[in-house]
Amino acid sequence: DTAVSQTPKYLVTQMGNDKSIKCEQNLGHDTMYWYKQDSKKFLKIMFSYNNKELIINETVPNRFSPKSPDKAHLNLHINSLELGDSAVYFCASSRTGPNQPQHFGDGTRLSIL
Amino acid sequence: AQTVTQSQPEMSVQEAETVTLSCTYDTSESDYYLFWYKQPPSRQMILVIRQEAYKQQNATENRFSVNFQKAAKSFSLKISDSQLGDAAMYFCAYRMSDTASKLTFGTGTRLQVTL
């Protein structure tokens, strides 16, 4: 039933580790996104893929690498985690087009110790 | 660069009353899209309403309506007959009319609904 699902919902890890967050959507959308929401609730786009091609790549450290194996999946891998990476990461999807509403997952709360 | 400003960090409304959340944006584009998203404590972002800039008519979705003033670059959200379930963070967002454009969010307004 879930439209956009992210795993895990919570991730607690130490500085320097490498971690991945997975995202899958069953809405038949062809565009997917990763957002970061900081402790002040500010939400900012990180990446966007359309039909498995990267179309938005904001100023994000290259420790963050998205991967889209197919249109329904967009994973986020983070190398050498830093304290500043602590945030909630949201995956979203939509049909192609700027007027299309984006459907968000429940978010992954990443906490770096 | 486009910016979205929500000048009210927190608002409070009594149940059954009406509240208006403010949003202004800065853009040099003439064609774009505006959205209001709701984020309840459960954390999920939910689309509340959207407006196309080329449409003069204000969008309405049940108890939610917008006041879109294109010349003033203002896009406020009115919630009528407020309910306890409306308590959430509300984010205004802007997007250019380009498939590869990004959604730019405001800083959010936390809405409390009291009995």
**Domain residues for B78?**
3-114
Could you say which of A42, A48, A98 has the minimum Cβ distance to residue B97? A98
Answer yes or no: do B44 and A106 touch at CB < 8 A.
Answer: yes
- One of 2.60.40.10, 3.40.50.2000, 1.25.40.10, 2.40.160.60 is the CATH number of A4-112, namely 2.60.40.10
- Identify the pLDDT of residue A1: 62
Tens of pLDDT, residue by residue over A3-48, are 999 999 999 999 999 999 999 999 999 999 999 999 999 999 999 9
Chain A contact present for B97, CB below 8 A:
yes
- Strands (DSSP E) along chain A, which ranges? 4-7, 10-13, 19-25, 31-37, 43-50, 53-57, 64-70, 73-78, 87-94, 103-104, 108-112
Instruction: Report how many Cβ contacts below 8 Å link chain A to chain B.
Output: 60
Average pLDDT over residues B84-105: 92
Cis, peptide link before residue A69, omega less than 30° from 0 = no
Task: Identify whether the C-beta of residue B45 lies closer than 8 Å to the C-beta of residue B38.
Answer: yes
Please, which pLDDT band fits residue B42 given cuts at 50, 70 and 90? Answer: confident
Answer yes or no: do A56 and B102 touch at CB < 8 A.
Answer: yes
* A57, closest residue in chain B (CA to CA): B102
Chain A contact present for B64, CB below 8 A:
no
Q: How many domains does chain B have?
A: 1
Owner of token pair 């294109």: B70
State the CATH number of the domain containing residue B58: 2.60.40.10
List of chain A residues whose C-beta atoms are within 8 Å of the C-beta of residue B45: 43, 90, 92, 102, 104
Domain boundaries, chain A: 4-112
Task: Identify whether the C-beta of residue A70 lies closer than 8 Å to the C-beta of residue A49.
Answer: no
